[in-house]
Amino acid sequence: MKIFTDYFDRSVESYPDKTAVCDETHGLTYAQLSSLARKTAAALISCGRKRSAAAVYMDKTPECAAAMLGVVYSGNFYVVIDSKMPAERIRLIFDVVKPFAVITNSDLAEKLSETSFDGKVLTQDEINETEADDQAILSVRAEMTSSDPMYCLFTSGSTGVPKGTIVTHANVVSYTDWFIKTFGIDSSTVFGSQTPFYFSMSVTDLYSALRTGAELAIIPKKFFAFPIKLVQYMNEKMVNTIYWVPSALCIAANMDLFRYAKPEHLTQVLFAGEVMPTKQLNYWIGHFPDCRFANLFGPTETTDICTYYVVNRSFDDGQPLPIGVPCDNCRISVIGADGKECAPGQEGELYAGGPFVAAGYYNNPVKTAEAFVQNPLNSAYPEIVYKTGDIVKYNELGELIYCGRKDFQIKHMGYRIELGEIENAACAQEGVLSCACIYNGGTDRIILIYEGKTSEEELLAQLRARVPEYMLPAKLVKLGTMPHNSNGKIDRALLKANYKDQ
């Protein structure tokens, strides 16, 4: 099996002058991206390290993608660090992966000193002056295998010791195989990229693009506040495929954006990362009836995705969207509390197996052993599967339905409750733009936090008509806007911290 950069090299050969990655200000062609990555690799190879971590501490730019590829060419794996991340959190991540080098630019290099990092700091200026060394890259390549780590991805927003998932070349290659085939990605595809490079969703659009000669147009974050500019940018870049978090899609729907401006080239709208409310999805479908819409589902630990649903029928506002069927080459089991496979309609935990399943957590054998486990349905030979912590069930059509996180399922007044069900009911109300439910185990109270025009009293009355008494929130909190984390998703950890005493 090949490693990822073998595929990238082929794209460089076929499309040297085509834009690979661009943003608002400039772009890099395949040849330029490759050349910059090879210079980066030369600088790193001289450090003499293999299969070790190098951090990429840069904003989301074409040069950042080059730095990531450069680390991969050097036979090491990269860790992308959010440029807005507090120094203390960076230090915690560095404690786990112990990077031998950090690639950054001169603006950010100063902040790096606050993290007590004492390894090699490689700035963009130094890389530009480095000579590429193809012979050195070939020697490194000869020693690499597809099971080598390609990157380590830390999940955001968590507290305590950060957990970094090690994703291999084989993971990325088999995963993008599926994505490219399923969504027909080729050199005519232009992705409008929303998610940061330190978030698993960006692996999908970046690496599917680089394997096929497609273009990745990075959308500047600020455009989500200036939606007319967002549409202008998408039209100028001729973006035809987007893969965004639902919160980003909801921004457009909630302000009725398409009455004022519309992306002209869109053919595919894909989303993942959180639940897509059907009310806002219906708005998009109404304006783009000929587009393909798909709900993708999975954790960082299966590279990005393990199941998907291409929207093929209509859904009422508030009716949950299926997460669909397993991706090719992905084995999904739904396992009940009794350790046996669940019958249709019965809820159980989702286990994922197959080549998308990551190697484990870096430098963390305890957490790895908890989540990457022997397939409970197979006692005959060793087979590692990932225990997702997601509760799902099959519907009568054989599609998987997401019920909630295992740690999100609560016991309240003797009933087992999925907080997601309350959210679905609330989100379906016309005056609700977005919402999140949290549960305070200490006081045994359910709190619903929402954004919208409806008053707390009205919403409570509407909920009374849709959910049983025992599922009614003890408190409703109306916010001007919901907080979002740096990936663009609703920041549940923050909400939980803010309302934990209520």
Partner 1 sequence: MEELLEILSEVKPGVDFETEKELVDSGILDSMTIIQLVARLTDEYDIEITPMELVPENFNSAEAIYAMIQRLED
Q: Which residues bind partner 1 (CB under 8 A)?
A: 221-229, 251, 255-257, 260-261, 451, 480-481, 483-484
Going by C-alpha positions, the residue among 392, 426, 462 that lies closest to residue 278 is 426
Q: Could you tell me the smallest distance in angstroms from the CB atom of residue 479 to partner 1? A: 8
Strand ranges in 245-362 using DSSP code E only, listed in sequence order: 268-271, 292-297, 307-310, 325-326, 331-335, 348-353, 360-361
Buried/exposed code over 369-404 (b: 16+ C-beta within 10 A; e: otherwise)? eebbeebeeeeeeeeebbbbebbbbbeeeeebbbbb
**Which CB, 260 or 415, lies closer to partner 1?**
260
**Which CB, 173 or 219, lies closer to partner 1?**
219
- The number of helices, as runs of H, and strands, as runs of E, in the chain is 16, 26
**Which CB, 226 or 415, lies closer to partner 1?**
226
Q: Could you tell me the smallest distance in angstroms from the CB atom of residue 368 to partner 1? A: 34
| Contact by Cβ (8 Å): 324, 295 | yes
In sequence order, which residues have a C-beta less than 8 Å from that of residue 487 and are 6 or more positions away?
156, 195, 196, 199, 201, 245, 273
**Which CB, 70 or 192, lies closer to partner 1?**
192
In sequence order, which residues have a C-beta less than 8 Å from that of residue 283 and are 6 or more positions away?
253, 256, 258
**Which CB, 287 or 445, lies closer to partner 1?**
287
Q: Could you tell me the smallest distance in angstroms from the CB atom of residue 302 to partner 1? A: 29
Q: Could you tell me the smallest distance in angstroms from the CB atom of residue 383 to partner 1? A: 43
**Which CB, 57 or 439, lies closer to partner 1?**
57
Q: Could you tell me the smallest distance in angstroms from the CB atom of residue 229 to partner 1? A: 7
**Which CB, 83 or 462, lies closer to partner 1?**
83
Q: Could you tell me the smallest distance in angstroms from the CB atom of residue 105 to partner 1? A: 16
Say how far apart CA 285 and CA 348 lie, in whole Å: 31
Q: Could you tell me the smallest distance in angstroms from the CB atom of residue 224 to partner 1? A: 5
Q: Could you tell me the smallest distance in angstroms from the CB atom of residue 231 to partner 1? A: 9
Integer CA distances (angstroms), 68 to 60, 80, 225, in order:
11, 8, 28
**Which CB, 228 or 397, lies closer to partner 1?**
228
Other Cβ atoms within 10 Å of 291 Cβ, number: 19
Say how far apart CA 249 and CA 269 lie, in whole Å: 9
First and final C-alpha spacing in the chain: 54
**Which CB, 188 or 486, lies closer to partner 1?**
486
| Contact by Cβ (8 Å): 130, 39 | yes
Say how far apart CA 155 and CA 299 lie, in whole Å: 10
Other Cβ atoms within 10 Å of 128 Cβ, number: 11
**Which CB, 40 or 194, lies closer to partner 1?**
194
**Which CB, 20 or 248, lies closer to partner 1?**
248
**Which CB, 119 or 227, lies closer to partner 1?**
227
Strand ranges in 311-383 using DSSP code E only, listed in sequence order: 325-326, 331-335, 348-353, 360-361, 372-374
Q: Could you tell me the smallest distance in angstroms from the CB atom of residue 82 to partner 1? A: 13
- The residue behind tokens 């050969």 is 13
The amino acid occupying position 305 is: I
Token pair of 374 as six digits: 């022997």
Q: Report the DSSP beta bridge partners of residue 56.
A: 80, 103
- The residue behind tokens 């050349």 is 35
Q: Could you tell me the smallest distance in angstroms from the CB atom of residue 257 to partner 1? A: 5
Q: Could you tell me the smallest distance in angstroms from the CB atom of residue 440 to partner 1? A: 25
| Contact by Cβ (8 Å): 491, 157 | yes
Token pair of 117 as six digits: 């990092």
Q: Could you tell me the smallest distance in angstroms from the CB atom of residue 262 to partner 1? A: 11
